[in-house]
Amino acid sequence: MVADVRADGHGHGAVQTALAALTGGAAWLMVRSAADAAPLRAAGIRAPILATHHDSDNARAASLGVTFRNSVDEPPLLYEPGVAMYGLGALARELGLETAMRVSARVLIVKEIERGDGVSYGYTYRAPASTRLAMVAIGYADGLDRAAGNVSSMLLAGEFRPIVGRVAMNAAVLEIGELAVAPGDEAVLFGGSGEPSANEWSVALGISEDETVTNFGRSVQRIYA
């Protein structure tokens, strides 16, 4: 088995993903280029690495022990589960695998608005009636697709609450009505059992699950369990 840890482990962290995959039985690791292999070697990983794109610096690639795809050195038989390894895609659902990534953010403030009040930049949402809002500390700079505004929802205090207005750089706004919410409460974008799935989130936005998880960059705090 070759574990695909390209794109920083599809947003999960290449080094941590590689270590988990090797512990789980993977024999090879896949990266985009020899440059992407350097952090793995620096972390002490000595497993063979397959790169999908050739580097001009062949000496560096050789020093890192990188084999290039479609070269004479590539092993003839490698099983590539792809994103199923992360609990994503049709194969993962068929096998009953749980999504590895869970994304959540904390409520910053709660406020009341009146009927007709606009929300966020450009006022793409106006309240049809008096209601309450919760600003959540995650935005497009953190990987939350701007298309989520007025389309997707988050799980907050046991209920799915819609994202209203445009997603800002570091914040999104939820309409919460009479729901009991306070600053510091956790809003879940997607996660495991009983929570919204990465697939549901992706369907709502019209993008792939892989794109969804890869979008969340290093600015989001990662916690490994």
Domain boundary assignment for the chain: 2-80, 103-215
Q: With respect to CATH, is domain 2-80 assigned 3.10.129.10?
A: no
Does residue 218 surpass a pLDDT of 80?
Answer: no
Read off the pLDDT of residues 173-208 as tens digits, 9 standing for 90 and up: 999 999 999 999 999 999 988 899 999 999 999 999
Q: Parallel, antiparallel, or unpaired for β 49-51 and 28-31?
A: parallel
Give the model's pLDDT for residue 76: 85
Closest to 107 (Cα-Cα) out of 175, 205, 197, 200: 175
Q: Output the pLDDT for position 192.
A: 87
66-68 β-sheet, strand order: 2-4, 28-31, 49-51, 66-68
Q: Which CATH superfamily is domain 103-215 in?
A: Lyase, Ornithine Decarboxylase; Chain A, domain 1 (2.40.37.10)
| pLDDT tens digits along 44-94 | 999 999 999 987 778 889 999 999 988 888 888 899 999 999 999 999 999
Q: What is the mean pLDDT of residues 156-185?
A: 97
Q: Give residues with Cβ within 8 angstroms of 87, minimum separation 6.
A: 97, 98, 99, 100, 101, 198
